[in-house]
Amino acid sequence: MSSRLQALWTPRSLSVVVPLFDEEGNAEPLVRGIVAAVRPLHLPFEVIVVDDGSSDATLEVLRELLVEVPELVVIALRRNFGQTLALQAGLDRARGDALVTMDGDLQNDPSDIPHLVQALCQGADVVSGWRKDRQDTLFLRKIPSWVANRLIRFVTRINIHDQGCSLKAYRREVVKGLDLYADMHRFIAILTMPLGATIAEVEVQHHARISGSSKYGLSRIFKVMADLFTIQMLTWFRERPMRWFTLLGMPFLVASLVATFLALTTGASSVVLSALVLITSTTFLSCLLLGLVAEFVLATMGSNPAPVARELGDRS
């Protein structure tokens, strides 16, 4: 292992996890680029490529590479599950002490991997790439990303410039228990915060796409907003959700009691007061029930079935 990586922590092995979907033109240069970037670190490593049910020749290209690249592990999902579940499948298979994730479209540069690993060695638990000079279209990619990142920073109070950058590095222990779903892959750094994870940010290169087509559009903004709400539920309400939902329902309980008091003291059978009592008391009870449901969901998290997959060329 290179001496420049000797610091507060030294990984014994490295796993690079890459989800791919219809990237036949990028698969080979991506794998070879990762191997060329990681091999000088003198760490035992594996390159885990998850084919997310590609409809082109991506899987065939990966099969051929298995013969030439001994560090390559290919996981083939039987249908398209989406980037998050494909990434989860790769993380579940990963054996390294340090884990690096990245996109498979060659817009992330494999040569940045050593910089992220170095930041881990210097004490960070999570290292997030920052595409400061992003090579994407202005209206379809840059502006939506700008809006989404500022919204995420405002809501979560976590000062990461580029949550959407897939090029990230993690210590194994901070991600091994995560159960990702929906589009949660972009929020992994936030999900590690309840564990007390230390997050660092490293500027990384970003290249224009030269092969294939982007899988994202403007609709991603709405997905980010929905997932952001879910993230807040998982972080703010994760501990004692019943308490939070009870606090949320307290104003309705107070309003119900006030309306009941007015109805009893005035002696009038007001339809408005009766309706107000019914609505506010029902809302308060709904909050209590939501709290109970949240407690139940948290108690059963981790029971989601994993995507059906098969590993090609298993050398274990």
* pLDDT one-digit tens code per residue, 222-271: 666 666 666 666 666 666 778 878 888 999 999 989 888 887 777 656 77
Q: Is the dihedral of CA 89, 92, 95, 97 positive or negative?
A: positive
Six-digit token string for 165? 């950058």
Enter the tokens of residue 297: 């969901």
Nearest to 138 by CA among 212, 208, 46, 68: 208
DSSP characters for 75-89? EEESS---HHHHHHH
State the pLDDT confidence band at 162, using cuts at 50, 70 and 90: confident
Exposure of 230 by Cβ count < 10 A (0-12 exposed, 13-18 middle, 19+ buried)?
middle
Mean pLDDT value across residues 160-184 = 83
Give pLDDT, residue 12. Answer: 94
Bigger pLDDT: 96 or 295?
Answer: 96
Contacts (Cβ under 8 Å, ≥6 apart) of 258:
none
CA–CA gap between residue 192 and residue 170 (Å, rounded): 10
Q: Are the C-beta atoms of 18 and 103 separated by less than 8 Å? A: yes
Q: Kindly tell me if the per-residue pLDDT of 5 is higher than 50.
A: no
> What percent of the chain stands above pLDDT 90?
43
Q: Which two tokens stand for residue 13?
A: 């092995």
Residue 165: closest CA among 217, 215, 101: 101
Summarize the confidence of residues 298-305 as an average pLDDT: 58
Closest Cα partner for 190 from 137, 139, 144, 152?
152
- What does the pLDDT average to over 38-60? 95
DSSP 132: T
Q: How confident is the model at residue 53 (pLDDT cuts 50, 70, 90)?
A: very high
What's the confidence (pLDDT) of residue 304? 46
Determine the pLDDT at residue 236.
63
Range with lowest mean pLDDT among 92-101, 156-165, 228-237, 270-279: 228-237
CA angle 150, 152, 157 (to 5 degrees): 95
pLDDT, position 146: 66
Looking at the predicted structure, is the pLDDT value of residue 125 above 90?
yes
Asked: is 3-236 a CATH 3.90.550.10 domain? The reply is yes
Six token digits for residue 294: 């949240």
Residue range 120-135: average pLDDT?
Answer: 87
Residue 215 has pLDDT above 90, yes or no: no
Which amino acid, one-letter code, is at 68? E
Q: What is the mean pLDDT of residues 146-159?
A: 69
Higher per-residue pLDDT: 216 or 30: 30
Q: Using CA atoms, how far apart are residues 93 and 77, in angstroms rounded to an integer?
A: 13
Instruction: Quote the mean pLDDT of the chain.
Output: 82
Is 50 exceeded by the pLDDT of residue 42?
Answer: yes
Which of 42-46, 79-83, 213-217 has the least mean pLDDT? 213-217
Local confidence band at 59 (pLDDT 50, 70, 90 cut-offs): very high
Question: Are 105 and 80 a contacting pair, CB within 8 Å?
Answer: no
User: What pLDDT is attached to residue 28?
Assistant: 96
Write down the pLDDT at residue 250. 92
The residue type at 225: M
pLDDT at 195 over 90: no
Residues 6+ apart with CB under 8 A from 17: 48, 50, 87, 90, 91, 94, 99, 100, 101, 102
